Structure 1
Amino acid sequence: MSKNVKAVPTSDYFAVVEVVENYVAGLKVGDAKQVAKSFHKDATMYGFSAEGELLGGPISNLWTFMEQFGAAPNIIARNDIISITPTTAVVKVDMENDAAGNDYTDNHTLLKQDGKWLIIAKVFHTYQK
């Protein structure tokens, strides 16, 4: 019989959710420095605009977006952990009313490095209004 061992402690689930909740909280107040704390320094961001245009590149593109549009005081989000292992996680973030007034679905891939969870990739879809 194989070992019956729990691979991922419950505390990791809480830590992953905390990282994503910090991202959303930073968007709400328009604080790029707060949002940056959720991302790995080498993170990337790719996805589709509401018009179907593929956008992408370094996560610094998100900081540019935040500078352009500011805070999103009416943003609401639902975060669901889709998958988690001892070192990786995928979180779906369903958002409405970002700073530009758009609705999104984000899929964040997180890595646990040196005991800390960070988003390494953000893949998004923007919905038409």
Structure 2
Amino acid sequence: MSDRQAVEQTVHLYVEGMAFANAAALKKAFHPKSSIIGYYQNAIEWLTRDEFIAAILAEEPAPPGTQPFMDIQNVDVEGDAASVKVTDDFAGMRFTDYLSLLKIEGRWVIVSKLYHLHT
């Protein structure tokens, strides 16, 4: 598997983990020290991975068997660093995420998520 494919696989893991409230998938996709940042309900939100997962688990997950919306618009990989722009839906809201990933011990993980909530 190429690095690009492995990065995209991590993005899929993240989006599906979010859609189906799968904490194990989200913990695998995100580094423990990752940050999740953006404006939510007109206030800046700056979360740790575990705070983000708790917020996801507080929402109603997508029904089993549904296909979550995900549109990967850009993937840029340079050595052990990668950047991804992806638009996805969660809890009836549409987000554009800018994900920074790092290859650690042979595995790509999200170290930062900067998001925009569409209105």
- State the Cα RMSD in Å: 1.6
Q: Deviations over 1:32-52 (max 9, x none)?
A: 111211011111111112x43
Whichever structure has more strand as a proportion of its residues is 2
Question: Where in structure 1 do 4 or more consecutive aligned residues deviate above 6 Å?
Answer: none
User: Which runs of structure 2 are paired with 1:1-80 in the superposition (5 Å)?
Assistant: 11-49=2-40, 51-73=41-63, 75-80=68-73
Q: How many residues align?
A: 116
Cα 1:17–1:82, aligned 2, differ >3 Å: closer, same or farther?
Answer: closer
Please tell me whether the aligned partners of residues 89 and 111 of structure 1 are also in contact (alpha carbons under 8 angstroms): yes
- Secondary structure of the 2:58 match is helix
Q: Any stretches of 5+ residues in structure 1 without a counterpart?
A: 1-9
Q: Deviations over 1:65-124 (max 9, x none)?
A: 11210313463011233421111001111013x12x111011110001111110000111
Please tell me whether the aligned partners of residues 87 and 95 of structure 2 are also in contact (alpha carbons under 8 angstroms): yes
* TM-score between both structures, scaled by the size of structure 1: 0.82
Percent identity (aligned)? 27
CA distance in structure 2 between the aligned counterparts of 1:105 and 1:94, rounded to whole angstroms: 4
* TM-score between both structures, scaled by the size of structure 2: 0.88
2:79 counterpart of 1:86: yes
Larger Rg computed on CA atoms: 1
CA distance in structure 2 between the aligned counterparts of 1:114 and 1:87, rounded to whole angstroms: 10
Q: Any stretches of 5+ residues in structure 2 without a counterpart?
A: none
Counterpart AA for 2:102: L
